[in-house]
Chain A
Amino acid sequence: MNNNKVNLTTASDKLSDYRQTLAQGVKASIPIAVGYIPIAITFGLVAKSSGIPDYIALLMSFIVFAGASQFVGVSLIALGTNPWEIVLTTFILNLRHFLMTASLAMRIDPSVSKAWRCLIAFGVTDETFSMASLQKDKLLSPFFIVALNMLAFLAWNTGTWAGIFLASGLPASLQASMGIALYAMFIGLLVPALKESRPVLLVVLMSIGINSALSWLPLSAGLSAGWRIILSTVLAALTAALIFPEGTGGLKDA
């Protein structure tokens, strides 16, 4: 009898733990969702105005779920680019996710099942990854990550619908300013960390410097944005790892 009661309490404690973790994930996802909606609306508008069939744009948001790739995809489709080239460009643009999920893998308990990992992997974007990996906790609960990813996914898809069907909803001047939303979010994530850790400040300056050089020097003009981001990230993070064996300096046990 007594034993049963104890088990019952732990079970309900566990349930409320899960609920709390889910709620934390949703809460952390709100700024991402807010950032995604205007971008997704823009994506819907761009797709529609490029003559992409509605179901193709909607399907893209539903199964690709990667902002940059989708914008590039739509523009390449509109230009009549060879399908293989479109897929290859998408692949290169998304190779950086390989680095991100490799980093995320260290923050997930080894006991987390393959099914959970497949689910987690689907929702990893620049934004959800940044938000998850800048959490203070050393180990991240799969519930937290999936809640975080799924709300972002919902916002992205809702925004795409809205963009397609509202078509010319926003005045052109405001539409252009929306493009800053995701960058403002990246800045909001990064700036507080820059204040806390000198190694982080240096790695960011290096990667910005390398990316600017690759973007503006004629020698590397042929590199796609995807390759530039991959190269800048790898070079800056490698250099930082060599200079600072102590890591990010106890900023977070990331």
Chain B
Amino acid sequence: MHKLLLIVVGMALVTYIPRLIPLLMLGDKKMPWFLSNFLQFVPYAVLGALIFPGVLSSTGDAASAMTGATVAALLALVRLNIMLVVLGGILGSFFWGVVF
């Protein structure tokens, strides 16, 4: 039991520290141009890498996941509210599972 507690505390520390350091260190300094340019692209690059190929194994079936993802992408393309995008994604993947 002790061991499990220590694991969770350790996980919490190594999660919090990378979140905290840049916010404390970089706050009052002007960032070099290239670094700031690089960091502008980071959120989009992270999103891309987070989505694919991870999405394929998100529902246990790549076809149902791709259906859900495609529905979500189409809804996002017509700029529907993000909650509807999420709902559409869930339903799309659910119905694929029901139908096939």
Contact = CB atoms under 8 A, between A and B. Distances in A.
Contact of B7 (A86, A100, A190): A86
Given A35-B86, A102-B39, A117 B18 contact: no
Contacts of A63: 8-9, 12
Contacts of A23: none
A95 B21 CA distance: 11
A203 to B, nearest CB: 5
Interface in B48-100: 48-55, 58-61, 64-65, 68-69, 72-73, 75-77, 79, 81-83, 85-86, 88-94, 97-98
A211 B23 CA distance: 27
Nearest to A30: B83
A236 B27 contact: no
A204 interface: yes
Given A110-B27, A208-B48, A181 B20 contact: no
Contacts of B28: 110
Contacts of A190: 44, 47-48, 51, 76
B97 A247 contact: no
Q: Give the size range of A's interface with the partner.
A: 35 or more
A187 interface: yes
Contact of B40 (A56, A66, A91, A248): A248
Given A90-B14, A184-B85, A215 B40 contact: no
Interface of A: 30-31, 34-35, 38, 52-53, 56, 59-60, 63-66, 69-70, 73, 77, 83, 86-88, 90-91, 94-106, 108, 110, 112, 114, 117-118, 120-122, 124, 126, 129-130, 133-134, 173-174, 176-193, 195, 199-200, 203-208, 210-212, 215-216, 225, 228-229, 232-234, 236-238, 240-241, 244-245, 247-248, 254
Interface of B: 1, 3-12, 14-16, 18-28, 31, 34, 36-55, 58-61, 64-65, 68-69, 72-73, 75-77, 79, 81-83, 85-86, 88-94, 97-98
